[in-house]
Amino acid sequence: MKALIIAAGEGKRIRDVSGELPKPLTPLLGLSLIERIILSAKSAGINDFVIVLGYKGDKIREKLGDGSRYGVSIEYVENKEWKKGNGLSVLSAKNKLSENFVLLMSDHLFDPDVLRELKKKKLAGADGILVIDRKKRDYIDLEDATKVRIRDDIIVDIGKNLDEFDGIDCGIFLLSDKIFDALEESLKRGDDTLSGGVRVLAEKRKMKYMDIGNKFWIDVDTKESLKVAEKHLLDSLIKPTDGAVSKYINRKISIPISKILVNTRISPNAVSILSFLISLLSAFLFSFGQWLYIALAGLLAQISSIIDGCDGEIARLKFQESRYGAWMDSVLDRYADALVILGMIYGYWISHPDITIWIWGFFSVVGSLLNSYTAIKYDQVIKERKRKFRFGRDIRMFIIMLGGVLNQVFVTLVVLAIITNFENIRRIIVLSSKE
Amino acid sequence: MKALIIAAGEGKRIRDVSGELPKPLTPLLGLSLIERIILSAKSAGINDFVIVLGYKGDKIREKLGDGSRYGVSIEYVENKEWKKGNGLSVLSAKNKLSENFVLLMSDHLFDPDVLRELKKKKLAGADGILVIDRKKRDYIDLEDATKVRIRDDIIVDIGKNLDEFDGIDCGIFLLSDKIFDALEESLKRGDDTLSGGVRVLAEKRKMKYMDIGNKFWIDVDTKESLKVAEKHLLDSLIKPTDGAVSKYINRKISIPISKILVNTRISPNAVSILSFLISLLSAFLFSFGQWLYIALAGLLAQISSIIDGCDGEIARLKFQESRYGAWMDSVLDRYADALVILGMIYGYWISHPDITIWIWGFFSVVGSLLNSYTAIKYDQVIKERKRKFRFGRDIRMFIIMLGGVLNQVFVTLVVLAIITNFENIRRIIVLSSKE
């Protein structure tokens, strides 16, 4: 299925942010708005795009090229009459679209799940489905928004000036090529907007809707709405599986760092390796066995744990997630865990040459590594249910940081050995009752 | 979908094995033939059974009950005329079957994948699909077998006495209730066999076929065919992912042990725990640090590794596989790995009180545990491709056995530390090129 993206308008209201750039190229967390639209659609399974250009179209074409940089294919259509209604932009792509297609706005950001759901819908006799929002959201400019009225499963009216309305047009459509006839009919009536065309279909009871529900969308047309979009994207980086230390401490530091790093060329894998190197340094400092070194080592372990959040955050913000990247990061984390514990054992043993520390250290490392081993299965089974508490790496590293700062290496390893292995036994028992 | 199982016949030819029991209750590796049919069908997603009883039907009913013991539901039908043709057995279940159903013979064993594939087929206008075998298999008694002739996608003739034929009837059918009319028509013609009914459908070009391909099936009606079935089931326990030590040494011992254990009440989980306890004993003996103890410890590690194969084997032979069981076994294996290495380190350290052994031992345990951690992902990605060599627990335990017998604990830990961590790095590199 192809996606048609309208990127022809001037977007005067956001000029103070976009400056000389056309609105679709307004930057947001390392990507321009239109790149976010393309990559969101790609993650929902769309690989072929038709983009309608108008105002400063050359700059957009220069930026996006043929799409190969994004792993998609892009064709362009020029709408010379971009100053008129946006219906003309849709009409200008008529020859490029023969089958059902998705229509998107270059400035309407959305959760890719919305498009995944829309793509699965069947037109079933209708000529289009429009995604609408029935919730009140305080960041929607109701005056400027396009409203719709619905009855049963269809749209009965659409426009900016409806007195009563049931929802807001989210600018995301699934359409058959009948939309082009409808736009031409609307043109004859003197209305050159996309809403005009939709109204023609609505009159024939051929326009259905899909409620966006709780999923996010936003029409970015002012500096304020850009801020709202940025805040939403950053907040969504906190995962439901995050442990307490991760949620309340690490993310509060890693997210602002990621916000800066997305604007650089630093890749998520490079950040994984940086975090690993910081752990190595922590392990090395622990091995000296003296308090100032140990305190610094503990802090570095915690810093490494924080930085370890950034790789996934940058990957998600820039649509660079890969299963290999996540896996490689997890293997590096396991080696980092082991080496930090080895550094702790060795440093303590130099000044307390008793074998006991090696045995506790041994059980700490076994328990820690098997925490991660059992988590793979445990998280699969338990993921649906809400968990109050998740024991994971964030907490282990926090304990190591405390142990380092307080100069309590022995106690730390005893505590780690006990709680990590206890947690593994607990998981074996919990899962046995789920069988 | 329901399955109809014909279990009415006398089965004279297998009497020397089954003795007083009716043929469907002939034991094979811990389960009777009819239990294998029911559990194979269950694993292909069938939960409702109708069983036609005849010769010594009470014994079968007594054994199987209402099916709840197997997690299925079983209804029974009596065919008083079981001495006559088997078409009457099918006909006697007419009132129990209103929709399409699967027809199975209580003595025709098959790979559950055959039924999974058959269930997905659509009758698409036909009244039945018969699974046929177009390969030559030396254990098929061609004289006694029912043959079929095919043209395009349908069966054109069926019977024991066809001069020319294209395949053998495997006794596995997907049928609509039209089979009952066909059986009645065949009866009028004086033929009371199931083949007679199938021939009526074949004449109307309403009987399709599905080729069983390379998948296993066997009609167990003699002592010899029972032996063939047993050999096939045992051979299938060798997994394509088995490592070299597992394939050429461990399985050769574990399979004969499992062959005995399936006839006891010992559960797969009990065997997992037994294997774990043997590892604990191995770890304990290693910790003494003297050669005879160490040699015995090495042998016990290898014995534990062999016994560790039996739990999965018994589970597969008795349809008791569970994802939890496999996972719990793998977590116990990881603890066993760690404790055996700890025993080795400690035993060596007593007589050579130098910290070096602890460091090598530390890297051995980290490498070993992370071998299993990286294998989860690695085996997923690499499973389709044929592998010449798989580095896994079987090889690690074999190295530990050699190290114990040869009294070379230090060298063993150095070797383990190097090859396990080298293998992890290799996997990271191999998978990075697969992304």
A237-261 residue pLDDT tens:
998 778 889 999 999 999 999 999 9
Work out the pLDDT band at B221, boundaries 50, 70, 90.
confident
Please give the mean pLDDT across all residues of chain A.
92
- Please check whether residues A217 and A242 belong to one and the same domain: no
pLDDT of residue B385: 56
- Please check whether residues B400 and B366 belong to one and the same domain: yes
Of B207, B230, B253, at which residue does a domain stop?
B230
- CB burial class (10 A; 0-12, 13-18, 19+) of residue A433? exposed
Work out the pLDDT band at B394, boundaries 50, 70, 90.
very high
B177-201 residue pLDDT tens:
999 999 999 999 999 999 999 999 9
Give me B311's structure tokens: 């739990």
CATH classification of the domain holding A96: 3.90.550.10
Asked if residue A118 is part of any domain, the answer here is yes
- Please check whether residues A363 and A427 belong to one and the same domain: yes
Contacts of A360 in chain B (CB under 8 A): none
First to last CA, chain B: 41
- Which residues of B make CB contacts under 8 Å with A? 322, 324, 327-328, 331, 334-335, 338, 342, 345-346, 349, 355, 358-359, 361-362, 365-366, 369-370, 372-374, 376-377, 424, 428, 431-432, 434-435
pLDDT of residue B388: 62
Contacts of A435 in chain B (CB under 8 A): 322, 324
Contacts of B374 in chain A (CB under 8 A): 331
What is the nearest CA distance from A179 to chain B, expressed in angstroms?
A: 38
Asked if residue A226 is part of any domain, the answer here is no
A221 vs A215: CA distance, rounded Å? 19
Asked if residue A428 is part of any domain, the answer here is yes
Nearest beta carbon to residue B372 from set A355, A365, A373: A373
CATH classification of the domain holding A343: 1.20.120.1760
Q: What is the 3-state secondary structure (H, E, C) of chain A?
A: CEEEEEECCCCHHHHHHHCCCCHHHCEECCEEHHHHHHHHHHHCCCCEEEEEECCCHHHHHHHHCCCHHHCCEEEEEECCCCCCCCHHHHHCCHHHCCCCEEEEECCEEECHHHHHHHHHCCCCCCCEEEEEECCCCCCCCCCCCCEEEEECCEEEEEECCCCCCCEEEEEEEEECCHHHHHHHHHHHCCCCCHHHHHHHHHHCCCEEEEECCCCCEEECCCHHHHHHHHHHHHHCCCCCCCCHHHHHHHHHHHHHHHHHHCCCCCCHHHHHHHHHHHHHHHHHHHCCCCHHHHHHHHHHHHHHHHHHHHHHHHHHHCCCCCHHHHHHHHHHHHHHHHHHHHHHHHHHHHHCCCCHHHHHHHHHHHHHHHHHHHHHHHHHHHCCCCCCCCCCHHHHHHHHHHHHHCCCHHHHHHHHHHHHHHHHHHHHHHHHHHC
Q: Please tell me which residue of chain B has the smallest CA distance to A434.
A: B324
Work out the pLDDT band at B384, boundaries 50, 70, 90.
low
Nearest beta carbon to residue B370 from set A331, A342, A424: A331
How many percent of chain B have pLDDT more than 70?
A: 98
Work out the pLDDT band at B74, boundaries 50, 70, 90.
very high
Asked if residue A34 is part of any domain, the answer here is yes
Please check the confidence at residue A385 and state whether its pLDDT lies above 60.
Answer: no
Rg (C-alpha) for chain B, rounded Å, is 27
* Neighbour count for residue A17 (Cβ, 10 Å): 17
- Please check whether residues A51 and A158 belong to one and the same domain: yes
Chain B contact probe: residue of A287, A377, A393, A425 with most B CBs at under 10 A: A377
pLDDT of residue A21: 87
pLDDT of residue A170: 95
- Please check whether residues A76 and A193 belong to one and the same domain: yes
Asked if residue A230 is part of any domain, the answer here is no
Asked if residue A232 is part of any domain, the answer here is no
Give me A326's structure tokens: 């996540």
pLDDT of residue A10: 82
Q: Please tell me which residue of chain B has the smallest CA distance to A363.
A: B338
* Neighbour count for residue B2 (Cβ, 10 Å): 20
- Per-residue b or e along A328-367, where b marks 16 or more CB atoms closer than 10 Å to that residue's CB: bbbbbbbbbbbbbbbbbbbbbbeeeeeeebbbbbbbbbbb
Cβ within 8 Å, pair B369-A373: yes
Please check the confidence at residue B48 and state whether its pLDDT lies above 80.
Answer: yes
Please check the confidence at residue A434 and state whether its pLDDT lies above 90.
Answer: no
pLDDT of residue A242: 86
Work out the pLDDT band at A386, boundaries 50, 70, 90.
low
Work out the pLDDT band at A82, boundaries 50, 70, 90.
confident
Nearest beta carbon to residue A428 from set B328, B365, B369: B328
What is the nearest CA distance from A47 to chain B, expressed in angstroms?
A: 19
Nearest beta carbon to residue B376 from set A376, A434, A435: A376
Contacts of A374 in chain B (CB under 8 A): 331
pLDDT of residue B19: 75
- Please check whether residues A244 and A389 belong to one and the same domain: yes
- Please check whether residues B199 and B340 belong to one and the same domain: no
A10 vs B392: CA distance, rounded Å? 62
How many percent of chain B have pLDDT more than 90?
A: 80
Please check the confidence at residue A399 and state whether its pLDDT lies above 70.
Answer: yes
B129-180 residue pLDDT tens:
999 999 878 888 888 889 999 998 999 999 988 889 999 999 999 999 999 9
Which range is least confidently modeled, A33-37, A64-68, B132-136? B132-136
Asked if residue A229 is part of any domain, the answer here is no
Higher per-residue confidence, A383 vs A366: A366
Q: Please tell me which residue of chain B has the smallest CA distance to A355.
A: B355
Yes or no: say if A207 and A130 are a contact pair by the CB < 8 Å rule.
yes
Please check the confidence at residue B276 and state whether its pLDDT lies above 70.
Answer: yes
Please check the confidence at residue A396 and state whether its pLDDT lies above 90.
Answer: yes
This prediction's pTM: 0.88
**Which residues form the domain of B352?**
238-434
pLDDT of residue A175: 95
Please check the confidence at residue A230 and state whether its pLDDT lies above 70.
Answer: yes
pLDDT of residue B383: 66
pLDDT of residue A217: 94
Cβ within 8 Å, pair A331-B372: no
Asked if residue A227 is part of any domain, the answer here is no
A–B interface: beta-carbon pairs under 8 A: 78
- Please check whether residues A329 and A359 belong to one and the same domain: yes
Sequence-separated (6 or more) residues with CB below 8 Å from residue A145: A160, A168, A169, A219
- Please check whether residues B147 and B242 belong to one and the same domain: no
Average pLDDT over residues B326-348: 95
Work out the pLDDT band at A211, boundaries 50, 70, 90.
very high
Of A221, A252, A273, at which residue does a domain stop?
A221
Contacts of A365 in chain B (CB under 8 A): 362, 365-366
- Please check whether residues B141 and B157 belong to one and the same domain: yes
Cβ within 8 Å, pair A342-B359: yes
- Please check whether residues A48 and A114 belong to one and the same domain: yes
What is the nearest CA distance from B245 to chain A, expressed in angstroms?
A: 24
Q: Please tell me which residue of chain B has the smallest CA distance to A337.
A: B366
pLDDT of residue B435: 62
Cβ within 8 Å, pair A362-B338: yes
Of B230, B261, B285, at which residue does a domain stop?
B230
Work out the pLDDT band at A119, boundaries 50, 70, 90.
very high
Contacts of B369 in chain A (CB under 8 A): 366, 369-370, 373
Q: Which amino acid is at A67?
A: G
Average pLDDT over residues B328-338: 95
Contacts of B366 in chain A (CB under 8 A): 334-335, 338, 365, 369
pLDDT of residue B149: 94
Please check the confidence at residue B410 and state whether its pLDDT lies above 60.
Answer: yes
Q: How many domains, chain A?
A: 2
How many percent of chain A have pLDDT more than 70?
A: 98
- Please check whether residues B103 and B147 belong to one and the same domain: yes
